[in-house]
Amino acid sequence: MNSYDLSILIPARNEMFLAKTIENILENIEGKTEIIVVLDGAWAEPQIPQHERVTIVYQPESIGQRAATNQAARLSTAKYVMKCDAHCAFDKGFDVKMMREMHDNWTMVPRMYNLHAFDWLCGNGHRIYQGPTPKKCPECGKKMERDVIWKPKPSPETDAMRFDRDLKFQYWSEYKKRQKGDIVDTMSLLGACWLLTREKYWELEICDEGHGSWGQQGTEVAAKTWLSGGRLVVNKKTWFAHMFRTQGLDFGFPYPQSGSQVDHARKYSKKLWLEDTWPKAIHPLSWLIDKFAPVPGWNTEVNKGIVYYTDNKLKIKIAKTCQKQLKSIGLPIVSASLKPMPHFGKNIHLPLKKGHLTMFKQILAALEASSAEIIFFCEHDVLYHPSHFDFTPTKKDVFYFNTNVWKVDSVTGKAVKVDKCEQLSGMCVWKELALSYVRQKMKQIESAGFDRHYEPRGKRENWSSKEPLVDIRHDGNLTPNRWSKDQFRNEANTKGWTEGECPDWAKEIFTKIIQKPVL
């Protein structure tokens, strides 16, 4: 009988890349490591080749992701167990590199990359980045086939993660700056890959089926590790790459995603952590928040908020996509709209006619209704990365602008950026200064008309977020679209002119909007 140090647990249901994931693991393990797969309600397609280190369990009726992971764990006799998703790639010797650094009361995750699993490729060589199956090539009309790439993307490198007040997973680029060394603390993790001792797995009931099939896995693992007296770490000496599926259709989550399941998992999780009812905790959740303070949205030292304004004229696909991304940030939103938006933050409906004065009236109303001390101005046609909101302005009399902005055409995908892009949509400012500016701007418009300037003329400073804003350009933008340097009257505004494509972090989101694929 083989004796293993590590059992890799893979719950799988309708996973097209399960065999590829197993093949990749077998190619890269260097220790006494086995793989235990539970086929949850469906046989693997393509079939998994037989291997002495691979155990396959077929469950004829689906029991759910957590239950399948527990079933796999029951078959393990190894010291360590590691759960991973069925669409991942790994570093050479990742198993040995992780076990070498482990402590018995730790949970460990490798540095995370995004996995470029495949492209769609037609006979003429046209490519579409991984996503739902296209009916035909949008360039030439030919049939497209899947071309497997299976490589980690060089950025972003994810070493720091957290959960927000709603207990949703969030990236945390600002905290990454506080991490020192190769073995670093992280507040939370993505549920795609994590390792701990088999003893701790069962002691902490790390896959509590009371949550339901799936949902809140990262929050559960993180909270149980930290609050029981353990430590959650990222091992930057090794990595895994995870394929994200966020586009729906035939490229979505393999388990049915119902609103009731999401609500149940979230309510169950909130009961445990927000109400401090988990019986095995030796610390309350407040201890964890204090340990990582300041945590965006949790700590009250600086209270940040979002002011969002829209004329409700934007194409619905763009509007909904941008709203979903903004809601995922986790900061409180006050929205001001010309049509009611009851499900988007604290909404203020102003039944006015679209115009420059109206826009500033909307901003003023949202500002007055916000309880935040620091305000991020957010517009309806911009995709905001979480790193944008990590910034904290230090001076209360200065207007700050995030100049890391790509302008991307919603039809063609063409993208350009310049060194200095100071836009209202990228402004962050203390609330009192924002109120003063908007009130003065309204008086100026009422007395002399709009002067073509949306941004304030006072003291300015710039910052650059880790990942850029994506300013979506379409036929309804208030400002003109310029795609060549000769369209600018002032050459200084073209300094650093760069042409490219939609930033990597937003490509998968942007494919929901664009009519011609982003290559």
Q: Which run of H or of E encompasses 159? A: none
**Each residue of 327-384: pLDDT tens digit?**
999 899 999 999 999 989 999 999 999 999 999 999 999 999 998 999 999 999 999 9
Beta partners for 416?
Answer: 407, 499
Mean pLDDT on 24-42:
97
The mean pLDDT of the chain is 90
pLDDT at 220: 97
DSSP 185-222: E-S---TTEEEEEHHHHHHTTTT-GGG-SSS-HHHHHH
Mean local confidence (pLDDT), 38-57: 93
% pLDDT > 90, the chain = 70
> Is pLDDT above 70 for 492?
no
Q: Model confidence over 83-95: pLDDT tens digits?
A: 999 999 999 999 9
pLDDT at 33 over 90: yes
Confidence of residue 513 (pLDDT cuts 50, 70, 90): confident
**Window from 55-64, 133-142, 470-479 with minimum mean pLDDT:** 470-479
Residue 155 confidence (pLDDT): 87
Q: Which of 215-224, 235-244, 298-307, 393-402 has the lowest mean pLDDT?
A: 298-307
Cα 383-172-497 angle, rounded to 5 deg? 45
Q: What average pLDDT does the segment 246-261 reach?
A: 66
The pLDDT tens digits for 212-249 are 887 899 999 999 999 999 999 999 999 999 998 766 66
What is the length of the chain?
Answer: 519
Whether 162 contacts 188, CB under 8 Å: yes
Mind listing the pLDDT tens digit for each residue in 174-190? 899 999 999 999 999 99
Report the side by side order of strands in the sheet with 427-430: 346-349, 333-337, 304-310, 374-379, 427-430, 399-402, 460-463
Domains 6-291 and 304-510 fall in the same CATH topology: yes
The larger pLDDT score, comparing residue 254 to residue 369, is at: 369
Average pLDDT of span 488-493: 64
What type of residue sits at position 314? L
Exposed e or buried b for every residue in 107-119, given b needs 16+ CB within 10 A?
bbbbbbbbbbbbb
Which pLDDT score, from 0 to 100, does residue 244 have?
87
- The bridge status of strand 231-242 relative to strand 304-310 is unpaired
Give the residue-averaged pLDDT of 16-41: 97
Q: Over 60: is that where the pLDDT of 300 sits?
A: no
pLDDT band at 298 (very low <50, low <70, confident <90, very high): confident
* Residue 519 confidence (pLDDT) above 60: no
In the chain, count of helices (H) and strands (E)?
12, 25
Average pLDDT estimate for 297-306: 75
CATH 1.10.3470 fits 304-510, yes or no: no
Domain boundaries, the chain: 6-291, 304-510
Query: What is the reported pLDDT for 360?
Result: 96
Mean pLDDT of 472-494: 70
Residue range 6-291 forms a domain whose CATH class is alpha beta
